[in-house]
Structure 1
Amino acid sequence: MTEVIDLGEFGEEFRRNPHPVYAGLRERGPVHLVRLPEPEEHHVTWLIVGYEEARAALADPRLAKDGGKIGVTFLDEELIGKYLLSADPPQHTRLRGLITRSFTMRRVEELRPRVQQITDELLDAMLPLGRADLVESLSYPLPITVICELLGVPDMDRAEFRKLSTEAVAPSSSGSEYDAFVRLAEYLGDLIEDKRCAGPSSDLLSDLIRTTAEDGDRLSPQELRGMAFILLIAGHETTVNLLTSGVHALLTHPDQLAALRADMTLLDGAIEEMLRYEGPVENGTFRFAAESLDIAGTHVVKGDAVMVGLTAADRDAGRFPAPDRFDIRRDSRGHLAFGHGIHYCLGAPLARLEARTAIRTLLERAPGLALDGPPGDWLPGMLMRGMRSLPVRW
Structure 2
Amino acid sequence: MTDIRPAPAIHDFPVTRPEKCPFDPDEEYARLRAEEPVSRVRCPAGMDAWLVTRYEDVRGVLADPRLSSRAAGSDHMLPSYAGHDPLPGFMIQLDGEEHARLRRLMIGEFTGRRVEALRPYIQRIADEHADAMLAGRGADLVRDFALPIPSRVICEMLGVPYQDHTSFQRDSQILTSFEADEATRAAATRRLEDHLGELIEKRLAVPQDDMLSRLIARADAGGRPLTVPELSTLAVLTLVAGHETTANMITLGMAVLLEDPERTAALRARPETIGPAVKELLRYLTVIQFGLVRYATEDVTVGGVEVRAGEWVVAALPSGNRDESVFPGPDTLDLGRRARTNLAFGFGPHQCIGQQLAEVELQVALTTLLRRLPGLRLARPLEQADFKLNDIVHGLRTMPVVW
TM-score, structure 2 as length reference? 0.88
Match of 2:371 among 357, 364, 383: 364
User: CA 1:337–1:80 in 2, change beyond 3 Å: closer, same or farther?
Assistant: same
The equivalent of 2:256 in structure 1 is 249
Q: Tell me if structure 1 keeps the 8 A contact 2:176–2:391.
A: no
- What's the CA shift for 1:107? 2.4
- What's the CA shift for 1:76? 11
Which residues in structure 2 correspond to 1:161-176 (within 5 Å)? Answer: 161-175=168-182, 176=184
Q: Tell me if structure 2 keeps the 8 A contact 1:276–1:336.
A: yes
Q: Tell me if structure 1 keeps the 8 A contact 2:292–2:316.
A: no
Quick check: 1:4 aligned with 2:20?
A: no
Q: Tell me if structure 1 keeps the 8 A contact 2:178–2:391.
A: no
Hey, what's the Cα distance between the residues in 1 that align with 2:304 and 2:83? 33
The equivalent of 2:151 in structure 1 is 144
Match of 1:58 among 55, 62, 86: 62
Hey, what's the Cα distance between the residues in 1 that align with 2:85 and 2:129? 37
Can you give the 5+ residue segments of structure 2 that lack an aligned partner in the other structure? 1-6
- What's the CA shift for 1:55? 1.2
The equivalent of 1:279 in structure 2 is 286
User: CA 1:357–1:74 in 2, change beyond 3 Å: closer, same or farther?
Assistant: same
User: CA 1:24–1:266 in 2, change beyond 3 Å: closer, same or farther?
Assistant: same
Can you give the 5+ residue segments of structure 1 that lack an aligned partner in the other structure? none
- What's the CA shift for 1:81? 2.9
Partner of 1:211, secondary structure, is helix
Partner of 2:332, secondary structure, is coil
- What's the CA shift for 1:178? 2.6
Q: Tell me if structure 1 keeps the 8 A contact 2:18–2:27.
A: no
User: CA 1:9–1:381 in 2, change beyond 3 Å: closer, same or farther?
Assistant: closer
Hey, what's the Cα distance between the residues in 1 that align with 2:13 and 2:95? 29
Quick check: 1:180 aligned with 2:205?
A: no
Partner of 1:337, secondary structure, is coil
Which residues in structure 2 correspond to 1:10-29 (within 5 Å)? Answer: 10=16, 16=22, 17-29=24-36
Q: Tell me if structure 1 keeps the 8 A contact 2:86–2:93.
A: no
- What's the CA shift for 1:323? 0.7
What amino acid is the match of 2:151?
Answer: I
The equivalent of 1:47 in structure 2 is 51
The equivalent of 1:218 in structure 2 is 225
Q: Tell me if structure 2 keeps the 8 A contact 1:373–1:391.
A: yes
- What's the CA shift for 1:352? 0.9
Quick check: 1:379 aligned with 2:388?
A: yes
Q: Which range is displaced more, 47-56 or 2-11?
A: 2-11
Q: Which range is displaced more, 378-387 or 331-340?
A: 378-387
Quick check: 1:310 aligned with 2:317?
A: yes
TM-score, structure 1 as length reference? 0.90
C-alpha root-mean-square deviation of aligned residues, in Å? 2.6
Q: Tell me if structure 1 keeps the 8 A contact 2:15–2:26.
A: no
How many matched pairs? 387
Q: Deviations over 1:247-289 (max 9, x none)?
A: 1111112332122122222211110110000022224432100
Which residues in structure 2 correspond to 1:182-331 (within 5 Å)? Answer: 182-197=190-205, 199-212=206-219, 215-331=222-338
Q: Tell me if structure 1 keeps the 8 A contact 2:105–2:219.
A: yes
Quick check: 1:351 aligned with 2:358?
A: yes
Hey, what's the Cα distance between the residues in 1 that align with 2:21 and 2:310? 28
Quick check: 1:120 aligned with 2:127?
A: yes
Q: Which range is displaced more, 13-22 or 171-180?
A: 13-22
Q: Deviations over 1:338-389 (max 9, x none)?
A: 1111111111111111111111111001111222214532224463221212
Hey, what's the Cα distance between the residues in 2 that align with 1:255 and 1:141? 28
- What's the CA shift for 1:240? 0.7
What amino acid is the match of 2:270?
Answer: D
What amino acid is the match of 1:56?
Answer: G
The equivalent of 1:33 in structure 2 is 40
The equivalent of 1:154 in structure 2 is 161
Q: Tell me if structure 2 keeps the 8 A contact 1:378–1:386.
A: yes
Hey, what's the Cα distance between the residues in 1 that align with 2:381 and 2:223? 54
Hey, what's the Cα distance between the residues in 2 that align with 1:120 and 1:76? 45
Quick check: 1:391 aligned with 2:400?
A: yes
Partner of 2:160, secondary structure, is coil
